[in-house]
C-alpha cells in the first residue's frame, strides 16, 4: 500500500491537538513530513514539539517532498494556499470553510478536477460512526416520515479578544466557523437539490464580523427542511433533532464527539424514550483514511468536488438572503 507523504501548513491548534496525532497514528497510510511556517520564532516552537519545520510556507509545498498538504490556516488564506498547493500537484485537505465565497470554491474545484487531485473540506463529523447510526435509524423507518430537522452549533466567547474568528480580514465570523456545520447536515440528510429559503445574521458588540444567526434550508423538489442556528459568545450547543411522523431522535455532540467519547442518542416514540450509548470513535482518523482513499479513486474525488460546491452555494445563498437581496 502506497503511503502518502503529508505536510501541514501552519501550526494551528487543531493541527497540533488532533490532525497531526491522527496522521502519526496511521503509519500504514501516511508518512508525516513536517510543518510549514512563516517565521523563525514559530519554526523553533515546531522543532521543540518534535517535528521538522519548513520556512517559509513555500519550502514545504514541493512535490519532491510531499504528496499532500493539510491546511488549517484562517479562512481568508485558504484560497491562496490551496491554489498554490494544487498548482504544485499536491492533494489538499483544508479546514472549513474552503473559501470565503462561491467564486473561490468553484475555481479551486475546477483546478483540482483538471489535475485529478483530492480537494476535501474538512468536516470530520461526517466520518463518526454516530452519523452512520443516525442514518441507519432513518433507513429502518423508526421515526416514520421525516417532518423536520433542527440543529444548533454555538459556543462561549473565545478567551482571546484578538482571536482570528473575530477578525474580518482573516475571514472570521460565525457563519463560516460555526454555521457551516449545521448547514453541512442539509446535504447529508436532504440531498443535493437544496436551497436556503430564510436567513438572518447579526453583528453585535461593535464586532467586525457576524456573531450569530440562523435560517432554513429546504429541498427544491421535496418537502423536507432543516432549521439551523449558530453563534459565537453563546451558551454551548452542538445538537441535532430529527422529528418524524412516528418519533424523534436527538443527540448533543453531533459535530464534536472527540476520540474516547461515547455519544448518547435519544429516541422518543409512542413506546417511550430510549437512550442508546454508542461506541466511541475517532473521526479524525476515519476522515484521514477517507482522504487516503480519495487519492486512489477519482470517483471519490468527484463526490468531494460536488460537496465542496453545494456547501459554498448554500453559504452564498445565506449571505444573499440575510442581506435581503
pLDDT tens-digit map of 171-191 = 999 999 999 999 999 999 999
Cell of 28: 500504514
Domain coverage including residue 36: 4-124
On the question of pLDDT at 67 being above 60, the answer is: yes
Active-site amino acid positions:
96
Q: Are 182 and 95 within one domain?
A: no
State the CATH number of the domain containing residue 196: 3.30.360.10
Give tens-digit pLDDT for 138-168.
Answer: 999 999 999 999 999 999 998 887 899 999 9
238 grid coordinates: 452542538
Give the phi and the psi of residue 311 in degrees, each rounded to 5. Answer: -60, -45
Please indicate, yes or no, whether residues 148 and 233 belong to a single structural domain of this protein.
yes
Asked whether residue 265 falls in the same domain as residue 192, the answer is yes
The verdict on residue 193 lying in a domain is yes
Whether 219 and 265 map to the same domain: the answer is yes
In a domain, 136, yes or no: yes
Per-residue pLDDT at 297 exceeds 80: yes
Q: Where are the beta strands (DSSP E) in 52-188?
A: 53-54, 68-71, 91-95, 119-122, 146-154
Asked if the structure places residue 303 within a domain, the reply is no
| Residues 75 and 174 reside in one and the same domain | no
Q: Does residue 257 have a pLDDT over 90?
A: yes
Please state, in angstroms and rounded to a whole number, the distance separating the CA atoms of residues 35 and 46: 7
Amino acid at each position: 500500500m502506497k503511503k502518502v507523504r503529508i505536510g501541514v501548513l501552519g501550526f494551528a491548534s487543531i493541527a497540533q491537538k488532533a490532525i497531526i496525532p491522527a496522521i502519526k497514528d496511521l503509519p500504514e497510510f501516511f508518512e508525516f513530513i513536517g510543518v510549514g511556517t512563516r517565521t523563525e520564532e514559530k519554526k523553533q516552537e515546531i522543532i521543540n514539539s518534535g517535528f521538522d519545520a519548513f520556512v517559509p510556507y513555500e519550502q514545504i509545498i514541493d512535490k519532491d517532498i510531499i504528496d499532500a498538504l493539510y491546511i488549517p490556516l484562517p479562512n481568508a488564506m485558504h484560497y491562496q494556499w490551496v491554489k498554490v498547493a494544487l498548482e504544485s500537484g499536491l492533494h489538499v485537505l483544508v479546514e472549513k470553510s474552503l473559501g470565503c465565497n462561491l467564486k473561490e470554491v468553484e475555481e479551486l474545484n475546477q483546478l483540482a478536477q483538471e489535475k485529478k487531485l483530492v480537494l476535501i473540506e474538512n468536516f470530520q463529523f461526517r466520518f463518526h460512526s454516530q452519523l452512520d447510526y443516525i442514518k441507519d435509524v432513518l433507513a429502518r423507518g423508526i421515526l416514520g416520515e421525516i417532518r423536520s430537522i433542527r440543529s444548533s452549533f454555538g459556543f462561549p466567547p473565545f478567551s482571546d479578544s484578538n482571536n482570528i474568528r473575530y477578525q474580518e480580514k482573516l475571514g472570521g465570523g460565525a457563519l463560516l466557523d460555526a454555521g457551516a456545520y449545521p448547514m453541512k447536515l442539509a446535504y447529508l440528510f436532504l440531498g443535493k437539490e437544496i436551497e436556503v429559503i430564510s436567513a438572518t445574521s447579526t453583528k453585535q458588540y461593535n464586532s467586525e464580523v457576524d456573531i450569530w444567526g440562523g435560517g432554513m434550508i429546504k429541498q427544491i423538489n421535496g418537502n423536507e427542511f432543516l432549521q439551523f442556528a449558530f453563534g459565537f459568545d453563546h451558551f454551548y450547543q452542538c445538537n441535532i433533532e430529527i422529528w418524524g411522523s412516528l418519533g424523534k431522535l436527538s443527540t448533543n455532540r453531533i459535530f464534536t464527539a472527540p476520540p474516547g467519547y461515547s455519544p448518547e442518542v435519544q429516541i422518543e416514540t409512542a413506546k417511550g424514550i430510549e437512550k442508546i450509548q454508542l461506541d466511541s470513535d475517532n473521526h479524525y482518523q476515519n476522515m484521514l483514511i477517507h482522504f487516503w482513499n480519495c487519492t486512489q479513486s477519482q470517483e471519490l474525488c468527484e463526490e468531494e468536488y460536488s460537496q465542496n460546491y453545494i456547501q459554498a452555494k448554500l453559504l452564498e445563498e445565506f449571505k444573499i438572503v440575510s442581506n435581503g437581496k
